[in-house]
Structure 1
Amino acid sequence: MHVFVVHNRYVSAQPSGENRVVDEESALLRAAGHRVELFERRSDDIAGRSLPGKAAVPLLVPWNPAVRRELTARLRAERPDVVHVHNVFPLLSPAVLAACADAGVPAVATLHNYTQICPPGTLRRDGRQCTECVGSTPLPAVRHGCYRGSRLATVPLAVSLSANRRRWWSGVARFLCISAAQRDVLVRAGMPPERMAVKHNFVPDPGNSRSADGEHVLFLGRLAEAKGVRLLMAAWDEIAATGGVGVPLVIAGAGPLQQEVTAWAAGREDVRFVGLYDPEECRRAVARSVAVVAPSLALETFGLVVVEAMAAGVPAVAAGHAAFVELVEDGVTGLLHRPGDPASLASCVRRIAADPVRNREMGRAARRRYEEGFSPDVGLERLVEEYRTAIAGRSALTRGGDTRPGRGDGESR
């Protein structure tokens, strides 16, 4: 199979689960003998642009005509079987869908967040869940400055959502949701259920599972309010006040709360802030964990760190909502705490650290769950299946006599 992968890479200064998924899926396809080509832009490149070039970036968010021309030309010249779209913000834009329509190549899109129904894609505002724009115009997002706290920065996203909603919903043959929880939200918002499949992200086998009882409790991720960092600090303070759990908390990551986390951890023997780990350091840290904690306040569409823990035979303590509910079987592969409740989080951490025998049983169950649902073999099978479905749908249209590129989606703009 010949696959074009379309992705706008996130800045390298922050860890990106989406970048990892794109790289790992591409490598998986190539290893299975498929031909994979990348069509990408890099957000890192914005810093090197001239001042006028930087000023023009927001104008390209809703529509980048140069991308449409370039991608159309490549698709027509190379004739791939399918185009797999990931992130298009900010430099690619939904113009990539028009290019697919122009060239008559079916598009599959992985939905890593909620950008089809929420301008910043988070369904959160001012530290709480928000669905004010869902099913209506995105004007509330502009009024509240939902993207980076700026009304001006939110405008291009709101314009793109409004102008391209129909193009997204009609121009994609298959939407790949990365959890059933995410799919449920998007279907309730009006997206076409018949074209929306659940395809969990896979995680490469780390090659080594936990061999001892673990040396620490681990938080691995972006240091942001939405990821539950402050919640974790409050819960750990409660744990420390009652004697601790016998192992330290290790926090690995970077983000807007880094200075606050650094100050909180300073001088403590029960907490270690280690900054941003490279991939190999992440694997080692996970494999040495009593448990991995994922106390996110956001409605996460997936939980890579939870599945990485499963792969290493390590149980997780995660917030009991959104995708975590389908990833963690409470009491079997880990524990679920009440979202946003530091006392519940503290109680779950105590429980999972207090009984090493039960902890090892949960770790073994987590590994089995990984092998059954999140291994590379499973990921490849599901991915190729969705590609074939998209291609078959396009072939059926052609046999039916509709050979117009994009069935009307490739109009001039």
Structure 2
Amino acid sequence: MKALVVHNRYRAEQPSGENNVVDQETALLAEAGHEVRLFERRSDEIAGMSLPRKAVLPLRVPWNRAVRAELARLLRDDRPDVVHIHNTFPLLSPSVLAACADAGVPVVATLHNYTQICAPGTLYRDGHVCTDCARRAPIPAVRHGCYRGSALATVPMAASLVLNRKRWWTGVSRFFCISAAQREILVAAGMPAERLVVKHNYVDDPGKTRTGAGEHVLFLGRITAEKGAGLLMDAWDRLGGIGLPLVIAGSGPMQDEVARWADGRDDVSYLGLRSKEECRDLIARSNTVVAPSTWLETFGLVIVEAMAAGVPAVAAAHGAFGELVDDGVTGLLHEPGNADSLAARLREAAGERNQEMGLAARLVYEQEFTPKAGLDRLVGGYRAAIAAAEGAPAE
């Protein structure tokens, strides 16, 4: 089939699982013989804009007429079978939905976060899970400055949520939720259940799996409070050593704090941002991968990457992690936000059952998270959306 993928790419200097998913899926479709075209904007473009263009950018977050017109021309000339939307913030806007409606092209959208019910998309504020805006106007988000700590910066996102909610919920044939946990939250917040289906992300086979017990405990990802960076430091200090060093790789707002904490220690290494190949190698050499997120993760790409390498994970027992980690079988779950619980599970994970859990994790990967499984679910969702637009049952 012929698919058009719509995505506003996140900034290049920050690790983005969402960008990775878009790249992987478009490559997967092309390799399978489908025709794929991209309609993109990059947040990196903002730095090169003139001051006047930067000044009006917030006004275009809820609605960008120029983008609508550009996409309308592309749809008219290219006539895809389906449009797949990922992220529209900040340079595309939900105006892409209007262009698709005008062209009569069915739309699917992957929900990588909670932007349908939360202005910044995190359901997280001041160090804890927050659902204050889930079933109401996002006034609390503005009041608390939930985006970048600024009420002014939050206004365009809140406005977009209010002005475009109905357009999203009626203009998209199929929403891909990337976990059942995410779908449950969105349905409870009022999104149309019949349009939400679960489609887990997939991971390429790394081509290398762990041999032996592994060399270190690994945290890989954004260095932020919501990813549990502070919690991990607290837990590691309480642990008092398990015979393995902690390796932290990634970047983010807390990277300087993490670097200072790790400086001069024999039991901790902070590596900063690493390439994809370096990350695969770090995972394959791990005893355990740790994901102590304090927010409700919609998926857990690093957990599945660990599974693919035959490495167990220690993760917070909330959000999507509960369906990715089979507690005691493929990894261990700790009490969210509890440093003592995290420390205890890290010690347990390094014990005698570590390799057994790693082998079990690899088997689950082979059954659920391979490219073949991802392609089947993706194309199946496209076909369902096309059939719904044509008034026919999906095959």
Q: Same fold (TM over 0.5)?
A: yes
Secondary structure, counterpart of 2:226 in structure 1:
helix
Letter of the aligned partner of 2:218 in structure 1?
Answer: L
Letter of the aligned partner of 2:332 in structure 1?
Answer: L
After TM superposition, the structure 1 = structure 2 runs for residues 341-352 of structure 1, keeping only pairs within 5 Å, are 341-352=338-349
CA distance in 1, matches of 2:14, 2:307: 24
Deviations, residues 200-259 of structure 1 (Å, cap 9, x unaligned): 00000001110121000000011100000010001100112xxx1111000001111111
CA distance in 1, matches of 2:351, 2:378: 40
2:319 is the counterpart of 1:284: no
Give the match for residue 61 of structure 1. 61
Secondary structure, counterpart of 1:11 in structure 2:
coil
After TM superposition, the structure 1 = structure 2 runs for residues 151-230 of structure 1, keeping only pairs within 5 Å, are 151-230=151-230
- Given that 1:60 and 1:91 are in contact with CA atoms closer than 8 Å, whether structure 2 keeps it comes out as yes
Deviations, residues 154-190 of structure 1 (Å, cap 9, x unaligned): 0000000000000000000000000000000000011
Return the TM-score normalized by structure 2: 0.99
Q: Paired residue for 1:396, among 374, 380, 391?
A: 391
2:335 is the counterpart of 1:370: no
CA distance in 2, matches of 1:183, 1:372: 22
CA distance in 2, matches of 1:186, 1:14: 27
Letter of the aligned partner of 2:268 in structure 1?
Answer: V
Letter of the aligned partner of 2:359 in structure 1?
Answer: R
| Cα distance, 1:396 vs structure 2 | 1.1
CA distance in 2, matches of 1:164, 1:315: 41
CA distance in 2, matches of 1:129, 1:335: 22
2:36 is the counterpart of 1:36: yes
CA distance in 1, matches of 2:354, 2:134: 41
Give the match for residue 81 of structure 2. 81
2:255 is the counterpart of 1:258: yes
CA distance in 1, matches of 2:221, 2:176: 24
| Cα distance, 1:354 vs structure 2 | 2.1
CA distance in 2, matches of 1:24, 1:354: 35
- Given that 1:4 and 1:80 are in contact with CA atoms closer than 8 Å, whether structure 2 keeps it comes out as yes
2:312 is the counterpart of 1:315: yes
Give the match for residue 336 of structure 2. 339
Letter of the aligned partner of 2:316 in structure 1?
Answer: A
CA distance in 1, matches of 2:119, 2:287: 38
Give the match for residue 125 of structure 2. 125
CA distance in 2, matches of 1:265, 1:175: 42
> What count of residue pairs does the alignment treat as equivalent?
393
CA distance in 2, matches of 1:347, 1:197: 36
CA distance in 1, matches of 2:213, 2:129: 37
- Structure 2 residue runs of 5 or longer lacking an equivalent are none
- Given that 1:245 and 1:354 are in contact with CA atoms closer than 8 Å, whether structure 2 keeps it comes out as no
Give the match for residue 380 of structure 2. 385
| Cα distance, 1:57 vs structure 2 | 1.1
After TM superposition, the structure 1 = structure 2 runs for residues 75-154 of structure 1, keeping only pairs within 5 Å, are 75-154=75-154
Deviations, residues 275-303 of structure 1 (Å, cap 9, x unaligned): 00110000000000000000000000000
CA distance in 2, matches of 1:207, 1:162: 45
CA distance in 2, matches of 1:98, 1:206: 40
Secondary structure, counterpart of 1:100 in structure 2:
helix
| Cα distance, 1:56 vs structure 2 | 1.3
Return the TM-score normalized by structure 1: 0.94
Q: Paired residue for 1:272, among 269, 277, 292?
A: 269
CA distance in 2, matches of 1:273, 1:86: 32
CA distance in 2, matches of 1:360, 1:127: 34
- Given that 1:62 and 1:164 are in contact with CA atoms closer than 8 Å, whether structure 2 keeps it comes out as yes
Letter of the aligned partner of 2:300 in structure 1?
Answer: G
Letter of the aligned partner of 2:380 in structure 1?
Answer: E
CA distance in 2, matches of 1:131, 1:343: 26
Give the match for residue 403 of structure 1. none
Deviations, residues 370-390 of structure 1 (Å, cap 9, x unaligned): 111111000000000000000
CA distance in 1, matches of 2:49, 2:363: 48
Secondary structure, counterpart of 1:225 in structure 2:
coil
CA distance in 2, matches of 1:157, 1:386: 28
CA distance in 1, matches of 2:213, 2:127: 36
Secondary structure, counterpart of 1:226 in structure 2:
coil
Deviations, residues 303-358 of structure 1 (Å, cap 9, x unaligned): 00000000000000000011000000000000000000011100011011121xx2
2:299 is the counterpart of 1:302: yes
CA distance in 2, matches of 1:6, 1:280: 27
| Cα distance, 1:55 vs structure 2 | 0.9
CA distance in 1, matches of 2:326, 2:177: 20
Secondary structure, counterpart of 2:391 in structure 1:
helix
CA distance in 1, matches of 2:220, 2:384: 36
RMSD: 0.9
CA distance in 2, matches of 1:267, 1:143: 42
Runs of 4+ more than 3 Å apart: none
